[in-house]
Amino acid sequence: MKSARALVRAAEPAPLWATARRPLQTTDRPVPRRSDVVVIGAGYTGLWTALYLKRLNPALDVVVVDAEGVGHGASGRNGGWCSALLPFTLTDIARQHGHQTAVDMRLCALNNFNDMRTVLSGLAIECDYVSGGTLTVARNRIQALRLEHELSEARLFGASDSDLRLLSDLSSSQHVHVSSTEGALFTPHCAALHPRKLVDGLARACLKLGVVICERSRVEHFTTGHVEILHDDHRTSISCQWVVRATEGYTARFRDSRRTLLPLYSFMVATEPLNEANVQDLRWTKRETVHDARNGVVYAQLTADNRIAFGGRGAPYHYGSRIRDSFDFDDSVHASLVETLHDFFPVTRDLAITHRWGGPLGVPRDWRNFVRVDENRRVATGGGYSGDGVSLAHLTGRMIAHAITRQPHADLTLPWFGHENPTWEPEPLRWLGVNTLRLLVDSIDETEQRRCRSSRIRSTVVDRFF
């Protein structure tokens, strides 16, 4: 059997999803000189914002510009989990905003997940969407205790048995079989989808509504009513009423926002297709998304053509929040992902790794996603999904569009609207802190797995700062 490192070196260094890319016919038109709204970033957030703006007011001129192209960022590379998950804990929300607000935010995330499915089906966007739920498995006793805690927290904020339930014996359940588990939590509120098909489908829906999409158009600077763009090496500008910044993991590239969102890299690998017997043996017939209850993050989905797309965090943070194409690949992080994949699903040891890739996602200092609409500057922004943006970007786009067109919406009454996140520490503290915590999280997970013991001191440090 080949080593994990040899397997990743043989893989194509590109997102699996890119193979589904079809030309969009967006780029032949010149960048307009004026528009009512300029949206920066053609990922899910920017495109949902544009789509809702046109739905709420078809007379608005909306231009979406992207430095590279539609879905170049996380929206074209992610793990395809479309969930009702939130990046923060409801206990923290209850502490700051009261119990009822936490209950309302959980319900809002759930409604958003359901609404997005309805909208996608109304738009006839085919993105291999299958609503099979999510399984969080416990692979040691400490993880099992964590799941019990997660369940009792969810119950406190209104989750019923049909939202979340404990499966004490996974082997007798009808769910996907992960090796060496000590139970699992199951929620039906998650779908697996094809990220590239989703982002391209959204772009096409926007074009149909009359949105102008300009690719290879990097915004160098913007102020109220004015956006400066480098388009194919030519400088140009657009005057506008509103600017919406939807740049998530790339936000730190803007000089005034270096410490707003930390670009944290997440990496993925994909296997060659499993045969039908393997799928049946694993009991992975409903395409549930799967992860475990470690402190770090790993995530898996079975694609429509029966490959396993497996991802995880754990890549180094780069000094000064730098983002480079070369950071999308790291042999040792990719190899360690493959080892975890083999450990989860031993049958994959005989499979080739066909693709590997990575990309930055945006993490705010308090892990709380936000929408801010500044009526005076006429600038709106949203993001900070910390890895849960496939569905939360829909919530954000809908909120921004309602706020700009001054139309009421219940989501605008919840505290992600107008939330001011604290900024990240200046360098070198940021680099030192984030990379130390990253190593600490790995070492806690290793201790929990090997010795079935939790490390109270290290866990307190991580909880305190992350």
Residues that bind ligand FAD (CB under 6 A): 40-46, 65-68, 72-75, 77-81, 218-219, 246-250, 253, 266, 268, 299, 311, 358-359, 361, 383, 385, 387-390, 393
Closer of 284 and 385 to ligand FAD (Cβ): 385
Nearest to ligand FAD by Cβ — which residue?
389
The least CB distance from residue 32 to ligand FAD, in Å, is 15
Closer of 94 and 164 to ligand FAD (Cβ): 164
Closer of 161 and 256 to ligand FAD (Cβ): 256
Whether 317 contacts 327, CB under 8 Å: no
Closer of 8 and 94 to ligand FAD (Cβ): 8
The least CB distance from residue 383 to ligand FAD, in Å, is 5
Whether 31 contacts 40, CB under 8 Å: no
The least CB distance from residue 230 to ligand FAD, in Å, is 9
Cα–Cα distances (Å) from 101 to 157, 292, 321, in that order, read 10, 28, 33
Quickly list DSSP for 294-311.
-SS-EEEEE-TTSPEEEE
Closer of 112 and 247 to ligand FAD (Cβ): 247
For tokens 């205790």, the residue is 145
The least CB distance from residue 44 to ligand FAD, in Å, is 4
The least CB distance from residue 16 to ligand FAD, in Å, is 11
Closer of 177 and 216 to ligand FAD (Cβ): 216
For residue 363, with 0-12 CB atoms within 10 Å meaning exposed, 13-18 middle and 19 or more buried, which class applies? buried
The least CB distance from residue 464 to ligand FAD, in Å, is 25
CA neighbours closer than 13 Å in the CB half-sphere of residue 28 = 3
Strands, E assignment, 251-292: 262-271, 289-292
Quickly list DSSP for 87-111.
SS-HHHHHHHH-HHHHHHHHHHHHH
The least CB distance from residue 451 to ligand FAD, in Å, is 30
Q: Which amino acid is at 336?
A: S
Q: Is 430 helix (H, G, I), strand (E, B) or coil?
A: helix
Output phi, psi for 62, to 5 deg. -125, 125
Closer of 183 and 311 to ligand FAD (Cβ): 311
